[in-house]
Amino acid sequence: MSVETNEMKTVEKRESNVFGMVEPMNHEQVMFFNDKETGLKGIIAIHNTVLGPSLGGCRIWNYENESDALWDVLRLSRGMTFKSSISGINLGGGKAVIINNPKIKHDEAFWRRFGKFVDSLNGKYITAEDVGTSTEVMSIVMQETKHVTGKPQSAGGTGDPSPITAHGVFLGLKACVKELTGSDSLEGKKVAVQGVGHVGHTLVKHLVESGAKVFVSDINQANLEAVAKAHPVTVVNPNEIYDQDVDIYSPCALGATVNTETIARLKCSIIAGSANNQLADEGVHGHTLLDKGILFAPDFLINAGGVINCYREVHSLSLEKTQELVENIYSRTLDIFRKSKSENIPTQEAAINLAVERIENAKKNRN
Ligand code: NAD
């Protein structure tokens, strides 16, 4: 199975049939699950397992339709393949999505049933927390399967991965500043952070402590108030975050916020944040950013702290080794910028090429 990069050209095309969506991204396996008793309904996508078992969080979301859910899980699992590969860890890419039904209770039976479905894949997919799930949920899932990470510390896990993710994003962001100015100091730099949830809030802390002037937006009033209470930040309207006169835009909420409309509005010279799949169409918007002279830190490269933390649980890595893998994000981001410059290709493409190269080499060595 190949993960060749020309898939980038087709990846944004929505097809009306399942295989039409699955084939262009080269997934190994897609499992649809449905449990009448608990109302659990969802999809697990296993993109690639050449480097190791696929790992990725379980997201629960109010999808408008089933095709949106499939599209989400396919894109996210593919991103996990690249994330683990470029981070130098021996994991493949997978993801689970659960189609939320507001009438259904997310009780113990619901999550245990999910655990059973994960277990039926015999370790080919390892789950973890993601949007809408938590370490507490994982402590229920682990009663049905050992193929689970992101467990609470009280259950032998490493707990909430967000602080380590935020640290990696901060390092990636500093590498961007280094690339453009020759120094990675953030003193006086203006940063617009979209989304101040688990990762965004901690990132704001790092930024403020480094002397940056931070602008924040969120649609959740409680999260906004918490960050404004803890740090000297300027709160802006969610829709005005793209118009701020800042050096850096840091998307830490949703994917696809870097698109034709927002790129035209952005005044920054750097985009670096935690959200997955920031480019709405990676075959198009990577080039738009390159042409416009905006330096883009590929999200799967700089937000890898969370998956590195999960890897620590799978392989019982020491904290030192885990930290070393996260610290590498800084130098690897600079490597990607060099590659992008020398080959005159978008940074996203340079990062995907490097990730694919490692997978292809592993395949050759295995053969
Ligand atoms: P979170 O749910 O804790 O925080 C997201 C925040 O974004 C929330 O406060 C939400 O209200 C806000 N938000 C949603 N829509 C918004 C909008 N239109 N404008 C402004 N704010 C908006 O999630 P998180 O764990 O902090 O993760 C943030 C992003 O980083 C997600 O895309 C996630 O997939 C990605 N990510 C997280 C981790 C991790 O370790 N938590 C790891 C890798 C990637």
For residue 3, the model assigns a pLDDT of 42
CB of 286 within 6 A of ligand 1: the answer is no
**Tokens at 4, concatenated:** 């060749």
Say how many C-beta atoms besides its own lie within 10 A of residue 112's C-beta.
17
Regarding whether 177 and 148 lie in a shared domain, the answer is: no
- Together in a domain, 299 and 340: yes
The pTM (predicted TM-score) of the whole model is: 0.93
Position 340 scores a pLDDT of 98
Q: What is the pLDDT of residue 15?
A: 57
Do 18 and 97 lie in one domain? The reply is yes
The label of the residue with tokens 């707990």 reads 159
Q: Which atom of ligand 1 is nearest to the CA of 309?
A: 40
The pLDDT mean for the chain works out to 94
Tell whether ligand 1 has an atom less than 6 A from the beta carbon of residue 310. Answer: no
pLDDT at 5 over 80: no
Does residue 308 line the site of ligand 1, with CB under 6 A?
no
pLDDT of residue 330: 98
Which residues does residue 271 pair with via DSSP β-bridges, in sequence order?
249, 296
Same domain (yes/no): 128, 261:
no
Q: Are residues 210 and 341 in the same domain?
A: yes
> Strand pairing of 190-194 and 248-251?
parallel
- The confidence score (pLDDT) of residue 300 equals 98
Give the model confidence (pLDDT) of 96-112 as tens digits: 999 999 999 999 999 99
pLDDT on residue 14: 57
Q: What is the mean pLDDT of residues 154-167?
A: 91
User: Which sign does the torsion angle of CA 29, 34, 38, 40 carry?
Assistant: positive
pLDDT (mean) for 170-188? 98
Mean pLDDT of 18-41: 94
End-to-end CA separation in angstroms for the chain: 13
Reported as a single tens digit per residue, the pLDDT across 247-261 is 999 999 989 999 999
235 and 117 share one domain: no
From 132, 155, 178, give the residue that closes a domain: 155
Please give the Cα distance from 188 to 180 (Å, whole number).
15
Alpha carbon nearest to ligand 1 atom 15, residue: 253
pLDDT at 2 > cutoff 50: no
189 has catalytic annotation: no
Cα 314-319-324 angle, rounded to 5 deg = 100
Is the pLDDT score of 192 beyond 70? yes
CATH number at residue 125: 3.40.50.10860
pLDDT exceeds 70 at position 4: no
The answer to whether position 322 is within a domain reads no
Angle subtended at Cα 47 by Cα 134 and Cα 203, rounded to the nearest 5 degrees? 40
Best mutation site among 97, 158, 199, 278 for ligand 1 pocket (most ligand atoms within 8 Å of CB): 199
Does 16 lie in the same domain as 151? yes
Label each residue of the chain as H, E or C.
CCCCHHHHHCCCCCCCCHHHHHHHHCCCEEEEEEECCCCEEEEEEEEECCCCCEECCEEEECCCCHHHHHHHHHHHHHHHHHHHHHCCCCCEEEEEEEECCCCCCCCHHHHHHHHHHHHCCCCCEEECECCCCCHHHHHHHCCCCCCECCCCHHHCCCCCCHHHHHHHHHHHHHHHHHHHHCCCCCCCCEEEEECCCHHHHHHHHHHHHCCCEEEEECCCHHHHHHHHHHCCCEECCHHHHHHCCCCEEEECCCCCCECHHHHHHCCCCEECCCCCCCECCHHHHHHHHHHHCCEECCHHHHCCHHHHHHHHHHHCCCHHHHHHHHHHHHHHHHHHHHHHHHHCCCHHHHHHHHHHHHHHHHHHHHC
Q: Give domain status of residue 127, yes or no.
A: yes
Query: Using alpha carbons only, what angle is made at residue 168 by residues 201 and 150, rounded to the nearest 5 degrees?
Result: 75
Same domain for 142 and 288, yes or no, is no
Domain termination residue (choose one: 155, 170, 197): 155
Q: Which tens digit of pLDDT belongs to each residue from 193-236?
A: 999 999 999 999 999 999 999 999 999 999 999 999 999 999 99
In a domain, residue 275? The reply is: yes
Average pLDDT over residues 174-193: 98
Active-site option among 9, 13, 36, 95: 95
Domain that holds residue 247: 162-305+332-354
| Predicted pLDDT at 302 | 98
184: in domain = yes
**To the nearest whole percent, how much of the chain has pLDDT over 70?**
96
CA 6 to chain centroid, in Å, comes to 21
Please tell me whether residues 254 and 349 are part of one structural domain.
Answer: yes
State if residue 244 touches ligand 1 by the CB under 6 angstroms criterion: no
Query: Are residues 186 and 147 located together in one domain of the fold?
Result: no
Based on the domain organization, do 167 and 128 belong to the same domain? Answer: no
The HSE-up count of residue 87 (CA atoms within 13 Å, CB side) is: 36
* CA proximity to 247, closest of 173, 349, 136: 173
316 inside domain: no
Percent of the chain predicted with pLDDT > 90: 87
**Residue in 154, 160, 158 with CA at minimum distance from that of residue 134:** 160
Say if residue 182's pLDDT is above 60: yes
Task: Specify if 16 maps to a domain.
Answer: yes
With respect to residue 324, please indicate whether it lies within any of the assigned structural domains: no
Which of 126, 155, 184 is a domain's end point? 155
Strands 40-48 and 92-99: antiparallel
pLDDT by residue (tens digit) across 270-293?
999 999 999 999 999 999 999 999
Q: Which amino acid would we find at residue 282?
A: E
Do 139 and 184 share a structural domain? no
In a domain, 225, yes or no: yes
| Cβ–Cβ < 8 Å for 282, 5 | no
For residues 301 and 337, what is the distance between their CA atoms, to the nearest angstrom?
12
Centroid of ligand 1 to alpha carbon of 190 (angstroms): 20
**What average pLDDT does the segment 338-346 reach?**
97
Number of structural domains the chain divides into: 2
